[in-house]
A and B are shown apart, each in its own frame.
Chain A
């Protein structure tokens, strides 16, 4: 039950993050919206692992009756967290490189400058 609720909430979180990525004009806000999407999907995996029980999967002796959480989604999503951290760092670095040259974070202005340079 807990798992299902968490899964539905995290999918709505993904929706919110994606809309934020489309609507915001500021580059930093776009990156943060991507962060919301990634956090939501990480939360969803916790939800998946909570379907079989919510006791942490650290076994003490006998495990016949206890409803342990499923360890596999929890373990794989550690990798997902590391990857989203790496992506966040890289995107901020790119944003800083762009800002240092053009002194703006507005996406439309940046793209206008680039299209003018192309000609």
Chain B
């Protein structure tokens, strides 16, 4: 059965490779998008304007998965082993790296509509920095901030606001495009609601990623 399956999949992909041509219709929608949205980064325009409806579902996928991982893990034992072997130089550098990643997060989410970047990238950058700090220096110290800054409440609030703003943009597209075209092309404040959405998505993604990875780290050694 397995052998037949392998032959089948090989033939499927051979047929696919032989049958398509990539030089079909090449669309150039960039002019139209930049004209109406009036921000330089066309990917952000597509992500948060023309296909905002997809993005709402994407945010929901992320929130559901984070909570689902937490709820599925609830019955499994937590690893209480607290001693962590650390290495001096790495500890020093990872602290600096975490600070750097916070700065990079702010830059990427605020300038997401002008330079490469955006909410999702920013959130991942921040989560990577903090998780690296937790793994190399002290996981306990790194996980204190989650309760201290009330990230869970912040996450819920940003989910609500993202949903509200997206609904507004979808229901009243004309108002938002007037807001966008009033500003000067390429400045930080030219994005209308886009930078706000980027910041909120960044927070949301950071909270979800941190939650998932800390659940995995808390159950280390079980697999």
Please tell me whether chains A and B touch each other in their complex, using a CB distance cut-off of 8 A: yes
Within B169-223, the residues touching A (CB, 8 Å) are 186, 212, 216, 219, 222-223
Of B9, B13, B26, which contacts A52 at CB under 8 A?
B26
Min distance, Cβ B172 to any Cβ of chain A, angstroms: 22
What 0/1 readout, one digit per residue, does chain A (77-90) give for beta carbons within 8 Å of chain B? 01100110010011
- Whether the Cβ atoms of B34 and A92 lie closer than 8 Å is no
User: Contact residue range for chain B?
Assistant: 35 or more
A99 with B22, Cβ < 8 A, contacts A22-B6, A70-B29 known: no
Q: How far is the CA of A23 from the CA of B3 in the complex (A)?
A: 9
Chain A residues closer than 8 Å to B13, beta-carbon distance: 11-12, 14-15, 18
- Whether the Cβ atoms of A75 and B22 lie closer than 8 Å is no
- Whether the Cβ atoms of B65 and A71 lie closer than 8 Å is no
| Interface class of chain B by DSSP | helix
What 0/1 readout, one digit per residue, does chain B (63-87) give for beta carbons within 8 Å of chain A? 0110011001100110000000000
Chain B residues closer than 8 Å to A14, beta-carbon distance: 13
Instruction: Give the number of residue pairs across the A-B interface with Cβ within 8 Å.
Output: 128
Of B17, B23, B118, which contacts A11 at CB under 8 A?
B17
- Whether the Cβ atoms of A71 and B9 lie closer than 8 Å is no
The residue on A at minimum CB distance from B114 is A58
- Whether the Cβ atoms of B26 and A75 lie closer than 8 Å is no
Chain B residues closer than 8 Å to A51, beta-carbon distance: 22-23, 26
Q: Which chain A residues have a beta carbon within 8 Å of chain B's beta carbons? A: 3-4, 7-8, 11-12, 14-15, 18-19, 22-23, 28, 47-48, 51-52, 56-60, 63, 68, 70-72, 74-76, 78-79, 82-83, 86, 89-90, 92-97, 99-100
Interchain residue pairs with CB less than 8 A apart (9): A15-B10, A22-B9, A47-B22, A58-B116, A78-B118, A78-B120, A83-B61, A90-B68, A99-B222
Q: Which chain B residues have a beta carbon within 8 Å of chain A's beta carbons? A: 2, 5-6, 9-10, 13, 16-17, 22-23, 26-31, 33-34, 40-47, 51, 54-55, 57-58, 61-62, 64-65, 68-69, 72-73, 76-77, 114-116, 118, 120, 186, 212, 216, 219, 222-223
